[in-house]
Structure 1
């Protein structure tokens, strides 16, 4: 199945620096998105450390033999890589006062013949667009989501909550991290959207779906999503990755050839 990739970030309307980071390794079928947090520029440091570490180390493993690995082996490689990145960020935060308290969310996707192995930590999200319908396929690790799950708030009430950005998990804030990881079947013409809350807080699911349905190219869809978030206030940095399964098969080899194009920050 042929994959097309596109990524972009935008500083938004309210901030001077960009604490969101994205990385793609198309040859490995790998996509990484992070939204940093912390004082001064520490959030920017955390997110860039995470995306660089994961894309380099996991990308190398996938290209050096991981394409032949079983899904369970890839899961273990993803867990080990994120754990090592977590320790690096945690150690930096605890040895350099400039980085005290820094951490970052994570959305990590490895696109495989058997499906999408999708890991996440925090409240950055992944969505799937299929057959004209949008579905969120990650569940926020946040205080707000816990309140919704406990029946203390409705989804409608949550949209106006002051606790919107309080995450219950993040990479780098403790010496260990638990990444939630699931396998999702990929169907031809699926489009996957990974994004930071700078997008999902500014555009509701209906608006995201309308944009994805209105644009034929990933580049146009990405720009329209960023424009929409900024038009609605742009209160945070915006990061997104779009991946489309084009549904055609390579005739030689194993029939798996991830490739595409990448957008700039």
Structure 2
């Protein structure tokens, strides 16, 4: 069983006058490892905040990693719960959410991802992004239709191509990285999950001092201060974990 060293998390609305569409799962023990997650409700439709809570509550109640590793089943069952929500209230017919979750144990790291939250891992004094955004922006860049520079400032970055939704085809990414391929320092492994309202500010300046980078709690505090100093552009959520792998 890996040893949990340090964890931190926050989730705030863009401003106090609106609901927070994000929901988070702080690291929780599951079998022989730890599970963490961030969900971002699609805010352009009613019920996004409820949909993200449904996704996180589902993960909170999972009792085995075997269940968790069946990404298709997990997303399908969350979708079914969102559909049930719309049957009770027709105003929630378009309710949808993104979801990114990770499970880490001594065997390695399992990541499942749909939408535009991101998973990063610490590699030296930098963070390495493991997930790819499911957005129109990323799709156009991958297809080499336009350059990132050309698309900067356009709405393409905020347009999702998939999500957990009754009305959109779900196309999730799921992958496993063996323990031997994970970047560790003295067996310590750091992982971070951020909603788009948070990683927007990380990408603008992807660095902190070495001391801050080496502490999950210091990273969390500094990152939160950065976002609030620069003024949030969306709800912003973050979950971080440092773990000792054997």
TM-score, normalized by the shorter chain, greater than 0.5: yes
Structure 2 residue aligned with 1:189: 188
Partner of 2:40: 35
1:124 is displaced (CA, Å) by 0.8
Indicate the larger mover: 176-185 or 230-239: 176-185
1:192 CA displacement = 1.1
Q: Answer with 187-196 or 110-119: which moved more.
A: 187-196
In the other structure, the counterpart of 1:75 is 69
Q: CA deviation at 1:94?
A: 5.0
Instruction: Judge conservation of contact 1:35–1:104 (CA < 8 Å) in 2.
Output: yes
Residue ranges of structure 2 left out of the alignment (5+ in a row): none
Separation in 2 of the partners of 1:11 and 1:161?
Answer: 23
- CA drift at 1:47: 0.5
Distance 2:47 2:57 in 1: 15
Aligned ranges for residues 1-265 of structure 1 at < 5 Å?
1-3=2-4, 4-13=6-15, 16-28=18-30, 29-38=34-43, 42-56=47-61, 58=62, 60-62=63-65, 66=66, 75-76=69-70, 78-174=71-167, 177-185=170-178, 186=182, 187=184, 188-204=187-203, 207-210=205-208, 214-247=212-245, 249=246
State the shift of 1:38 in Å.
4.0
CA-CA distance at 1:216 after TM superposition: 4.2
Structure-2-length-normalised TM-score:
0.85
- Structure-1 separation of matches of 2:116 and 2:196: 7
Contact 2:48 2:95 (C-alpha < 8 Å) held by counterparts: yes
Q: Distance in 1 between matches of 2:219 and 2:17?
A: 23
Q: Please, which moves more after superposition, 106-115 or 89-98?
A: 89-98
Where does structure 1 lack aligned partners over 5 or more consecutive residues? 67-72, 250-265
CA contact (8 A) 2:45 2:95 kept: no
Matched-pair contact (CA < 8 Å) for 1:122–1:140: yes
- Structure number with greater CO (CA < 8 Å, separation at least 6) is 1
Across the two proteins, how many residue pairs are aligned to each other?
235
Higher strand share: 2
Q: RMSD across aligned C-alpha pairs, in angstroms?
A: 2.4
